């Protein structure tokens, strides 16, 4: 088991290093970051000064190595906008995003899982099939549009909820809704199909042969057996969530990593962008790792395969 964890951590580190490399490459692909950020509004002396100050005149391989070693100590350099340490800027925005993402996942699961279970217990009813078709269609809705519609409805028309900023629980409602609604439909479909798969397996008949009711079977056995694929799926959804979060944060001016990244991109604050990319990639890796560990805890077969 320890070897399994070790291997996954090693794989995760490789991904993080790759993220660092990619973001470094992006920042430097068009030549000097100084040129990219400040444009050509500098006199040759100013440019030379800046280049030297930031160490951009050194060979790229050396800069890469310096960069990696600095990053591994948490030093992402200064934000090119306001000289604050980039890492600090990013970490300041992190809790806002975390609250949003966590809220969205919890809300989506809290609604979707019971709906899916109920749907399975009442399979083959007309309502169930209509609902499923409907849900499938809802998946095509872009989350930023949904967010705007919510704002239109609840802020502009009804004046119930604030549309901008992070000021207390009220302002959290719409962003979480916008992010969780598309997720809900996906989760319902997935959990339902997983449950149906599990319910088709041999051991379910054996459980009925022991005299268990459908209810007992679904709650005590089917759900647990569907958990592992569900966790895997959630981990996969994280990639999508990152994108959705960025867009939703933008709509609501929510001061999280998404907004930070977009504004940094607009002014070409490369150090902050790099920090964001690396941080998000790291978070992604950590969460995937946690998901894997959770699966190993649930399913004893995985523990064996991992040895």
Partner 1 sequence: MSAHAVGVTTPPASRSALARSASRLRALPGSLVAGGALLAGFVLFGLLAPLVLGDPNKQDLNAAYARPGSPHHLLGADPLGRDVLAWVAGGVRVSLVVVVGVVALSALIGVVVGLVAGYAGGIVDATLMRIVDLQLAIPPILLFIAASAVISTTVLSLILLISAVMWVPYARLVRTQIQIERERSSVIAARLAGATRRRVLFAHLLPATSTLVLVLASLQAGFVVLWEAGLSFLGLGVQPPTTSLGYLIAQGREALGVAWWIIVIPGAVLALFVMSANLFGDGLRDYFGVDAELLEP
Partner 2 sequence: MTGEGVAVERLSVVARGGGSETQLVEDVSLRLAPATIMGIVGETGAGKTLTMRALLGLLPRGTQASGALSLAGAPPLALEAVTAVRGLLGRQTSVVLQNPLGMFDPLMRIRDQLTEGVVRRRLMTSAQAAQRASQLVREMGFSDPDAVQRLYPHQLSGGMAQRLACAMAMMPRPQLLVLDEPTSALDANVRVEVLKLFRRLAQDEGTAVFLVSHDLGLVGHFCDAIAVMYAGRVLEHGRTAEVLAAPQHPYTVALLSSSATLTARRREPLPGIEGAPPRPGTWPSGCVFEPRCTAAFERCKEVRPALSGDPEHATACLLVEREDARAVS
Q: Which is nearer to partner 1, 213 or 253 (CB)?
A: 253
Residue carrying structure tokens 């900023």: 165
**Which of residues 225 and 271 has its CB atom nearest to partner 2 in the complex?**
225
Tell me whether residue 217 or residue 231 sits nearer to partner 1 (CB atom): 231
Q: Quick one: three-class SS letters along the chain?
A: CHHHHHHHHHHHHHHHHHHHHHHHHHHHCCCCHHHHHHCCCCCHHHHHHHHHHHCCCCCHHHHHHHHHHHHHCCCCCECCCCCCEHHHHHHHHHHHHHHHHHHHHHHHHHHHHHHHHHHHHCCCCHHHHHHHHHHHHHCCCCHHHHHHHHHHHHHHHCCCCCCCCCCCHHHHHHHHHHHHHHHHHHHHHHHHHHHHHHHCCHHHHHHHHCCCCHHHHHHHHHHHHHHHHHHHHHHHHHHHHHHHHHHHHHHHCCCCHHHHHHHHHHHCCHHHHHHHHHHHHHHHHHHHHHHHHHHHHHCHHHHHHHC
Q: Judged by CB, which is closer to partner 2: 191, or 273?
A: 191
Applying CB under 8 A, which residues contact partner 1?
Answer: 11, 14-15, 18-19, 22-23, 26-27, 29-30, 36, 136-137, 139-142, 144-145, 148-149, 151-152, 156, 236, 238-240, 242-243, 246-247, 250-251, 261-262, 264-266, 268, 270, 273-274, 276-277, 280-281, 284-285, 288
Least Å distance between CB 204 and partner 2? Answer: 9
Question: 222, 203, 198, 218: which is closest to 122 by C-alpha?
Answer: 218
Nearer CB in complex with partner 2: 35/299: 299
Give the nearer residue to partner 1 in terms of CB position, either 108 or 270.
Answer: 270
Q: State the binding partner of 298 from partner 2, partner 1, none, CB within 5 to 8 A by kind.
A: partner 2
The distance of closest approach from Cβ of residue 269 to partner 1 in the complex, given in angstroms and rounded to an integer, is: 8
Q: Cβ 212 to partner 1, closest distance in Å?
A: 29
Rank residues 14 and 206 by Cβ distance to partner 1 and give the closer one. 14
Give the nearest distance from C-beta 288 to partner 2 in angstroms. Answer: 22
The residue behind tokens 């290093």 is 17
Which long-range CB contacts under 8 A does 127-135 form with residues at least 24 apart? 132/189, 132/192, 135/185, 135/188, 135/189
Residues in contact with partner 2 by CB under 8 A are 201-203, 205-212, 216, 221, 224-225, 298-301, 304
What minimum distance in Å lies between the beta carbon of 78 and partner 1?
Answer: 17
Task: From the list partner 1, partner 2, none, pick the one residue 78 interacts with, judged by a Cβ distance below 5 to 8 Å according to partner type.
Answer: none
Q: Which does 206 bind (CB under 5 to 8 A by kind): partner 1, partner 2, none?
A: partner 2
Q: How far is the CB of 8 from partner 2 (least distance, A)?
A: 21
Minimum distance between the CB of residue 105 and partner 2, rounded to whole angstroms? Answer: 23
Residue 239 binds which one of partner 2, partner 1, none, with CB within 5 to 8 A depending on kind? Answer: partner 1
């Amino acid at each position: 088991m320890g070897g399994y964890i070790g291997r996954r951590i090693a794989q995760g580190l490789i991904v993080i290093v790759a993220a660092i490399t990619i973001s470094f490459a992006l920042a430097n692909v068009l030549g000097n970051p100084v040129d990219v950020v400040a444009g050509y509004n500098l006199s040759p002396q100013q440019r030379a000064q800046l280049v030297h100050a930031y160490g951009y005149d050194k060979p790229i391989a050396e800069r890469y190595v310096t960069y990696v070693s600095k990053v591994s100590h948490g030093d992402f350099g200064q934000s090119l906008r306001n000289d604050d340490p980039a890492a600090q800027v990013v970490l300041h925005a992190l809790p806002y995003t975390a609250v949003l993402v966590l809220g969205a996942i919890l809300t989506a699961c809290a609604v979707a899982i019971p709906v899916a279970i109920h749907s399975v217990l009442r399979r083959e009813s007309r309502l169930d099939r209509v609902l499923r078709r409907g849900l499938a269609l809802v998946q095509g809705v872009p989350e930023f549009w949904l967010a705007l519609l919510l704002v239109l409805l609840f802020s502009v028309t009804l004046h119930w909820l604030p549309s901008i900023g992070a000021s207390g629980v009220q302002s959290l409602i719409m962003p979480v809704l916008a992010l969780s609604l598309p997720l809900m439909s996906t989760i319902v479909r997935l959990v339902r199909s997983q449950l149906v798969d599990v319910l088709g397996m041999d051991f379910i008949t054996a459980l009925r042969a022991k005299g268990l009711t459908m209810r007992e079977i679904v709650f005590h056995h089917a759900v647990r057996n569907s958990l592992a694929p569900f966790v895997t799926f959630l981990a996969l959804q994280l990639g999508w969530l990152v994108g959705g979060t960025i867009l939703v944060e933008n709509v609501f001016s929510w001061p999280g990593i998404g907004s930070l990244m977009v504004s940094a991109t607009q002014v070409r604050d490369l150090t902050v962008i790099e920090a964001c990319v690396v941080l998000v990639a790291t978070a992604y890796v950590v969460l995937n790792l946690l998901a894997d560990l959770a699966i190993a805890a649930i399913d004893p077969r995985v523990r064996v395969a991992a040895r």
